[in-house]
Structure 1
Protein backbone atom coordinates (compact mmCIF):
# COMPACT_ATOMS: atom_id res chain seq x y z
CA UNK A 1 0.00 0.00 0.00
CA UNK A 2 1.13 3.56 -0.78
CA UNK A 3 1.05 5.80 2.32
CA UNK A 4 1.69 9.39 3.41
CA UNK A 5 1.06 11.52 6.50
CA UNK A 6 -0.58 14.95 6.26
CA UNK A 7 -1.86 17.69 8.54
CA UNK A 8 -5.46 17.49 9.75
CA UNK A 9 -6.79 21.03 9.48
CA UNK A 10 -9.84 23.20 9.38
CA UNK A 11 -11.31 23.25 5.90
CA UNK A 12 -9.57 25.32 3.23
CA UNK A 13 -10.09 23.22 0.11
CA UNK A 14 -13.15 25.06 -1.21
CA UNK A 15 -11.45 28.42 -0.89
CA UNK A 16 -8.25 27.22 -2.57
CA UNK A 17 -10.19 25.54 -5.32
CA UNK A 18 -11.89 28.85 -6.20
CA UNK A 19 -8.45 30.48 -6.42
CA UNK A 20 -7.25 27.53 -8.47
CA UNK A 21 -10.08 28.00 -10.98
CA UNK A 22 -8.72 31.51 -11.71
CA UNK A 23 -5.16 30.19 -11.93
CA UNK A 24 -6.20 27.55 -14.48
CA UNK A 25 -7.51 30.33 -16.75
CA UNK A 26 -4.13 32.11 -16.62
CA UNK A 27 -1.48 29.40 -16.77
CA UNK A 28 -1.02 27.74 -20.12
CA UNK A 29 0.75 24.43 -20.51
CA UNK A 30 0.38 20.70 -20.20
CA UNK A 31 -0.50 20.57 -16.50
CA UNK A 32 -2.02 17.79 -14.41
CA UNK A 33 -4.21 19.65 -11.93
CA UNK A 34 -4.81 18.32 -8.41
CA UNK A 35 -8.45 17.71 -7.55
CA UNK A 36 -10.10 19.65 -4.73
CA UNK A 37 -10.34 16.49 -2.61
CA UNK A 38 -6.60 15.89 -2.88
CA UNK A 39 -5.34 19.28 -1.65
CA UNK A 40 -3.32 18.67 1.53
CA UNK A 41 -0.14 19.52 3.47
CA UNK A 42 2.14 16.48 3.43
CA UNK A 43 4.34 16.04 6.47
CA UNK A 44 5.91 12.72 5.39
CA UNK A 45 5.60 10.64 2.22
CA UNK A 46 6.43 7.00 2.88
CA UNK A 47 5.50 5.48 -0.47
CA UNK A 48 4.94 1.74 -0.78
CA UNK A 49 4.89 -0.11 2.53
CA UNK A 50 3.78 -3.53 3.67
CA UNK A 51 0.40 -3.45 5.37
CA UNK A 52 2.03 -5.09 8.40
CA UNK A 53 4.17 -1.93 8.86
CA UNK A 54 1.04 0.23 9.27
CA UNK A 55 1.02 -0.45 13.02
CA UNK A 56 4.48 1.17 13.30
CA UNK A 57 3.33 4.10 11.12
CA UNK A 58 0.44 4.68 13.53
CA UNK A 59 2.75 4.47 16.55
CA UNK A 60 5.22 7.04 15.16
CA UNK A 61 2.43 9.36 13.98
CA UNK A 62 0.69 9.17 17.35
CA UNK A 63 3.94 9.91 19.20
CA UNK A 64 4.60 12.92 16.99
CA UNK A 65 1.07 14.21 17.56
CA UNK A 66 1.58 13.97 21.34
CA UNK A 67 4.51 16.40 21.09
CA UNK A 68 2.55 18.91 19.00
CA UNK A 69 -0.08 21.44 19.99
CA UNK A 70 -2.78 22.86 17.72
CA UNK A 71 -1.45 25.81 15.72
CA UNK A 72 -2.31 28.16 12.88
CA UNK A 73 -0.58 28.91 9.60
CA UNK A 74 -1.31 31.05 6.58
CA UNK A 75 -1.83 29.92 3.01
CA UNK A 76 -0.49 32.77 0.95
CA UNK A 77 0.77 32.98 -2.58
CA UNK A 78 1.90 30.67 -5.33
CA UNK A 79 5.30 29.21 -6.12
CA UNK A 80 6.92 26.15 -7.67
CA UNK A 81 9.65 23.52 -7.54
CA UNK A 82 12.48 23.32 -8.34
CA UNK A 83 12.23 27.13 -8.43
CA UNK A 84 9.58 29.75 -9.14
CA UNK A 85 10.89 30.80 -12.53
CA UNK A 86 11.47 27.21 -13.65
CA UNK A 87 8.57 25.36 -12.00
CA UNK A 88 7.57 21.81 -12.67
CA UNK A 89 5.51 21.39 -9.50
CA UNK A 90 3.07 24.23 -8.76
CA UNK A 91 2.00 24.91 -5.19
CA UNK A 92 0.31 27.24 -2.73
CA UNK A 93 2.88 28.70 -0.33
CA UNK A 94 2.51 28.35 3.41
CA UNK A 95 3.66 30.89 5.99
CA UNK A 96 4.31 29.14 9.31
CA UNK A 97 6.15 31.73 11.38
CA UNK A 98 6.78 29.41 14.33
CA UNK A 99 7.92 26.56 12.02
CA UNK A 100 5.48 24.08 13.57
CA UNK A 101 5.07 22.17 10.30
CA UNK A 102 8.82 21.98 9.73
CA UNK A 103 9.27 20.67 13.27
CA UNK A 104 6.69 17.92 12.65
CA UNK A 105 8.32 17.06 9.32
CA UNK A 106 11.76 16.79 10.90
CA UNK A 107 10.51 14.65 13.77
CA UNK A 108 8.73 12.24 11.40
CA UNK A 109 11.82 12.14 9.18
CA UNK A 110 14.04 11.24 12.13
CA UNK A 111 11.68 8.56 13.44
CA UNK A 112 11.19 6.90 10.05
CA UNK A 113 14.87 7.06 9.15
CA UNK A 114 15.59 4.17 11.51
CA UNK A 115 13.37 2.08 9.20
CA UNK A 116 15.50 3.17 6.22
CA UNK A 117 13.10 5.78 4.84
CA UNK A 118 14.91 8.56 3.03
CA UNK A 119 15.14 11.94 4.75
CA UNK A 120 13.53 14.87 2.97
CA UNK A 121 15.88 17.21 1.15
CA UNK A 122 13.69 20.22 1.84
CA UNK A 123 11.31 21.14 4.64
CA UNK A 124 9.21 23.63 2.74
CA UNK A 125 5.55 23.24 3.72
CA UNK A 126 3.26 23.66 0.71
CA UNK A 127 0.06 22.47 -0.98
CA UNK A 128 0.66 21.09 -4.46
CA UNK A 129 -2.02 22.08 -6.99
CA UNK A 130 -0.46 21.07 -10.32
CA UNK A 131 2.38 19.25 -12.06
CA UNK A 132 3.76 20.13 -15.47
CA UNK A 133 3.79 17.01 -17.60
CA UNK A 134 6.19 17.96 -20.38
CA UNK A 135 7.95 21.24 -19.60
CA UNK A 136 8.47 23.95 -17.02
CA UNK A 137 6.56 27.16 -16.29
CA UNK A 138 7.95 30.54 -15.33
CA UNK A 139 5.52 31.70 -12.65
CA UNK A 140 7.13 35.16 -12.68
CA UNK A 141 5.41 35.74 -16.04
CA UNK A 142 1.98 35.68 -14.35
CA UNK A 143 0.27 38.16 -12.09
CA UNK A 144 -1.97 36.55 -9.51
CA UNK A 145 -4.14 38.48 -7.08
CA UNK A 146 -3.03 38.62 -3.48
CA UNK A 147 -4.66 36.22 -1.13
CA UNK A 148 -3.94 34.87 2.29
CA UNK A 149 -5.98 33.17 4.91
CA UNK A 150 -5.43 31.41 8.20
CA UNK A 151 -5.87 27.67 8.66
CA UNK A 152 -5.82 25.79 11.97
CA UNK A 153 -3.97 22.48 12.27
CA UNK A 154 -5.13 20.10 14.96
CA UNK A 155 -3.68 16.69 14.10
CA UNK A 156 -1.99 14.30 11.70
CA UNK A 157 -3.74 11.88 9.37
CA UNK A 158 -2.29 8.75 7.81
CA UNK A 159 -3.55 8.37 4.23
CA UNK A 160 -3.47 5.61 1.68
CA UNK A 161 -2.86 6.85 -1.85
CA UNK A 162 -4.65 4.62 -4.35
CA UNK A 163 -3.39 5.23 -7.87
CA UNK A 164 -6.07 5.21 -10.57
CA UNK A 165 -6.05 6.07 -14.29
CA UNK A 166 -8.10 9.18 -13.50
CA UNK A 167 -5.70 10.25 -10.73
CA UNK A 168 -4.98 9.25 -7.15
CA UNK A 169 -7.63 8.75 -4.49
CA UNK A 170 -6.59 9.63 -0.95
CA UNK A 171 -8.26 7.51 1.72
CA UNK A 172 -8.00 8.52 5.38
CA UNK A 173 -6.85 5.57 7.46
CA UNK A 174 -6.28 7.04 10.92
CA UNK A 175 -6.11 10.51 12.53
CA UNK A 176 -4.18 11.48 15.65
CA UNK A 177 -5.07 14.80 17.30
CA UNK A 178 -2.47 17.15 18.70
CA UNK A 179 -2.43 17.56 22.48
CA UNK A 180 -3.41 20.85 24.10
Structure 2
Protein backbone atom coordinates (compact mmCIF):
# COMPACT_ATOMS: atom_id res chain seq x y z
CA UNK A 1 0.00 0.00 0.00
CA UNK A 2 1.19 3.53 -0.85
CA UNK A 3 1.27 5.77 2.23
CA UNK A 4 1.97 9.40 3.04
CA UNK A 5 1.66 11.72 6.03
CA UNK A 6 0.00 15.09 5.59
CA UNK A 7 -1.27 18.18 7.35
CA UNK A 8 -4.94 19.03 6.94
CA UNK A 9 -6.35 22.52 7.19
CA UNK A 10 -9.78 24.05 7.72
CA UNK A 11 -12.61 23.82 5.19
CA UNK A 12 -13.35 27.58 5.20
CA UNK A 13 -9.89 28.23 3.77
CA UNK A 14 -10.43 25.51 1.18
CA UNK A 15 -13.61 27.27 0.03
CA UNK A 16 -11.67 30.52 -0.44
CA UNK A 17 -8.92 28.73 -2.37
CA UNK A 18 -11.55 27.04 -4.53
CA UNK A 19 -12.96 30.45 -5.53
CA UNK A 20 -9.50 31.66 -6.53
CA UNK A 21 -8.93 28.41 -8.42
CA UNK A 22 -12.03 29.05 -10.55
CA UNK A 23 -10.40 32.28 -11.75
CA UNK A 24 -7.05 30.56 -12.23
CA UNK A 25 -8.58 27.89 -14.47
CA UNK A 26 -9.76 30.61 -16.87
CA UNK A 27 -6.20 31.96 -17.16
CA UNK A 28 -4.29 28.72 -17.76
CA UNK A 29 -4.74 27.08 -21.14
CA UNK A 30 -3.00 23.79 -20.58
CA UNK A 31 -3.90 20.17 -20.03
CA UNK A 32 -4.12 20.35 -16.24
CA UNK A 33 -5.55 17.57 -14.09
CA UNK A 34 -6.83 19.60 -11.13
CA UNK A 35 -6.69 18.12 -7.64
CA UNK A 36 -10.15 17.82 -6.13
CA UNK A 37 -10.78 19.95 -3.06
CA UNK A 38 -11.40 16.93 -0.82
CA UNK A 39 -7.85 15.74 -1.66
CA UNK A 40 -6.11 18.99 -0.70
CA UNK A 41 -3.45 18.59 1.96
CA UNK A 42 0.12 19.61 2.74
CA UNK A 43 2.34 16.54 2.49
CA UNK A 44 4.84 16.17 5.32
CA UNK A 45 6.33 12.92 4.05
CA UNK A 46 5.64 10.57 1.17
CA UNK A 47 6.41 7.05 2.33
CA UNK A 48 5.54 5.05 -0.79
CA UNK A 49 4.89 1.31 -0.92
CA UNK A 50 4.88 -0.23 2.56
CA UNK A 51 3.87 -3.31 4.48
CA UNK A 52 1.21 -3.61 7.20
CA UNK A 53 4.05 -3.68 9.76
CA UNK A 54 5.39 -0.39 8.42
CA UNK A 55 1.89 1.07 8.61
CA UNK A 56 1.66 0.12 12.29
CA UNK A 57 5.12 1.62 12.91
CA UNK A 58 4.05 4.85 11.23
CA UNK A 59 1.03 5.07 13.53
CA UNK A 60 3.28 4.42 16.56
CA UNK A 61 5.67 7.14 15.40
CA UNK A 62 2.85 9.64 14.94
CA UNK A 63 1.58 8.91 18.45
CA UNK A 64 5.08 9.55 19.85
CA UNK A 65 5.47 12.98 18.30
CA UNK A 66 4.12 16.00 20.11
CA UNK A 67 2.79 18.04 17.20
CA UNK A 68 2.17 21.28 19.07
CA UNK A 69 1.68 23.12 15.78
CA UNK A 70 -1.98 22.13 15.55
CA UNK A 71 -4.24 25.18 15.53
CA UNK A 72 -1.42 27.32 14.13
CA UNK A 73 -2.11 29.43 11.07
CA UNK A 74 -0.34 29.29 7.74
CA UNK A 75 -0.74 31.75 4.87
CA UNK A 76 -1.02 30.86 1.20
CA UNK A 77 0.21 33.81 -0.81
CA UNK A 78 1.64 32.82 -4.16
CA UNK A 79 1.18 30.51 -7.10
CA UNK A 80 4.26 28.57 -8.21
CA UNK A 81 5.23 25.40 -10.04
CA UNK A 82 7.61 22.45 -10.10
CA UNK A 83 10.17 22.20 -11.56
CA UNK A 84 9.91 25.96 -12.31
CA UNK A 85 7.22 28.48 -13.27
CA UNK A 86 8.74 28.56 -16.77
CA UNK A 87 8.49 24.77 -17.17
CA UNK A 88 5.38 24.00 -15.12
CA UNK A 89 4.42 20.38 -14.56
CA UNK A 90 2.92 20.72 -11.05
CA UNK A 91 1.06 23.90 -10.06
CA UNK A 92 0.92 24.69 -6.38
CA UNK A 93 0.21 27.35 -3.76
CA UNK A 94 3.32 28.46 -1.90
CA UNK A 95 3.32 29.63 1.68
CA UNK A 96 4.27 33.07 2.86
CA UNK A 97 3.73 32.32 6.53
CA UNK A 98 4.06 28.94 8.18
CA UNK A 99 6.92 27.39 6.20
CA UNK A 100 8.92 27.17 9.43
CA UNK A 101 6.00 25.52 11.25
CA UNK A 102 5.66 22.81 8.60
CA UNK A 103 9.43 22.38 8.32
CA UNK A 104 9.65 21.74 12.08
CA UNK A 105 6.85 19.19 11.81
CA UNK A 106 8.65 17.53 8.92
CA UNK A 107 11.95 17.42 10.81
CA UNK A 108 10.31 15.93 13.94
CA UNK A 109 8.65 13.33 11.77
CA UNK A 110 11.88 12.42 9.95
CA UNK A 111 13.71 12.04 13.27
CA UNK A 112 11.02 9.78 14.76
CA UNK A 113 10.69 7.63 11.63
CA UNK A 114 14.41 6.82 11.65
CA UNK A 115 13.71 4.78 14.80
CA UNK A 116 11.55 2.52 12.60
CA UNK A 117 14.11 2.33 9.78
CA UNK A 118 12.12 4.63 7.51
CA UNK A 119 14.66 6.66 5.56
CA UNK A 120 14.82 10.44 5.47
CA UNK A 121 13.87 12.29 2.31
CA UNK A 122 16.75 13.00 -0.04
CA UNK A 123 15.18 16.16 -1.45
CA UNK A 124 14.69 19.43 0.40
CA UNK A 125 11.26 19.77 1.98
CA UNK A 126 9.14 22.43 0.24
CA UNK A 127 5.78 22.92 1.98
CA UNK A 128 3.08 23.50 -0.66
CA UNK A 129 -0.49 22.77 -1.66
CA UNK A 130 -0.67 20.97 -5.01
CA UNK A 131 -3.50 22.36 -7.16
CA UNK A 132 -2.92 20.48 -10.39
CA UNK A 133 -0.63 18.43 -12.56
CA UNK A 134 0.12 19.20 -16.19
CA UNK A 135 -0.50 16.13 -18.34
CA UNK A 136 1.06 17.54 -21.52
CA UNK A 137 4.29 19.38 -22.30
CA UNK A 138 5.57 21.87 -19.68
CA UNK A 139 4.34 25.44 -20.03
CA UNK A 140 5.17 28.90 -18.69
CA UNK A 141 2.83 30.42 -16.09
CA UNK A 142 1.81 34.01 -16.88
CA UNK A 143 3.64 36.62 -14.79
CA UNK A 144 0.37 38.15 -13.56
CA UNK A 145 -0.44 34.85 -11.82
CA UNK A 146 2.94 34.67 -10.10
CA UNK A 147 2.64 37.95 -8.22
CA UNK A 148 3.20 37.97 -4.47
CA UNK A 149 -0.18 37.97 -2.73
CA UNK A 150 -1.95 36.71 -5.87
CA UNK A 151 -3.77 34.77 -3.24
CA UNK A 152 -3.89 35.81 0.40
CA UNK A 153 -5.58 33.12 2.44
CA UNK A 154 -4.87 32.09 5.99
CA UNK A 155 -5.54 28.49 6.94
CA UNK A 156 -5.69 26.83 10.33
CA UNK A 157 -3.85 23.54 10.79
CA UNK A 158 -6.43 21.05 12.03
CA UNK A 159 -4.79 17.62 11.98
CA UNK A 160 -1.91 15.43 10.91
CA UNK A 161 -2.96 12.22 9.15
CA UNK A 162 -1.59 9.02 7.73
CA UNK A 163 -3.14 8.36 4.32
CA UNK A 164 -3.29 5.44 1.97
CA UNK A 165 -3.16 6.50 -1.68
CA UNK A 166 -4.98 4.30 -4.19
CA UNK A 167 -4.28 5.18 -7.80
CA UNK A 168 -7.33 4.91 -10.03
CA UNK A 169 -8.08 5.88 -13.63
CA UNK A 170 -10.18 8.80 -12.36
CA UNK A 171 -7.33 10.00 -10.15
CA UNK A 172 -5.91 9.14 -6.75
CA UNK A 173 -8.17 8.31 -3.84
CA UNK A 174 -6.83 9.19 -0.38
CA UNK A 175 -8.05 7.12 2.54
CA UNK A 176 -7.31 8.40 6.04
CA UNK A 177 -5.92 5.57 8.18
CA UNK A 178 -4.99 7.50 11.33
CA UNK A 179 -5.22 11.11 12.47
CA UNK A 180 -4.01 13.35 15.28
CA UNK A 181 -6.49 16.18 15.81
Are 1:101 and 2:102 an aligned pair?
yes
Aligned mates of 1:107, 1:120 — CA distance in 2: 16
Corresponding residue of 1:156: 160
CA shift in 2, pair 1:147/1:6, >3 Å: same
Q: 3-state SS of the aligned residue for 2:144?
A: coil
Corresponding residue of 2:31: 30
Deviation at 1:119, TM superposition (A): 1.1
Deviation at 1:165, TM superposition (A): 0.7
Moved more, 104-113 or 162-171: 104-113
Deviation at 1:108, TM superposition (A): 1.8
Match of 1:147 among 145, 148, 151: 151
Aligned mates of 2:122, 2:42 — CA distance in 1: 14
Match of 2:137 among 135, 157, 162: 135
TM-score (norm. length: structure 2): 0.87
Are 1:85 and 2:86 an aligned pair?
yes
Q: Give the RMSD, CA atoms, in angstroms.
A: 1.9
Q: Answer whether contact 1:158 1:175 (CA < 8 A) is retained.
A: yes
Deviation at 1:110, TM superposition (A): 3.1
Q: 3-state SS of the aligned residue for 1:8?
A: strand
CA shift in 2, pair 1:120/1:138, >3 Å: same
Deviation at 1:30, TM superposition (A): 1.8
Q: Answer whether contact 1:113 1:119 (CA < 8 A) is retained.
A: no
Report the number of matched residues: 175
Deviation at 1:68, TM superposition (A): 2.5
Are 1:49 and 2:50 an aligned pair?
yes
Q: Answer whether contact 2:90 2:130 (CA < 8 A) is retained.
A: yes
Match of 1:174 among 170, 178, 181: 178
TM-score (norm. length: structure 1): 0.87
Are 1:5 and 2:9 an aligned pair?
no
Q: Answer whether contact 1:109 1:120 (CA < 8 A) is retained.
A: no
Aligned mates of 2:102, 2:79 — CA distance in 1: 18
Unmatched runs of 5 consecutive residues or more in structure 2 = none
Q: Answer whether contact 1:69 1:154 (CA < 8 A) is retained.
A: no
Q: Answer whether contact 2:16 2:153 (CA < 8 A) is retained.
A: no
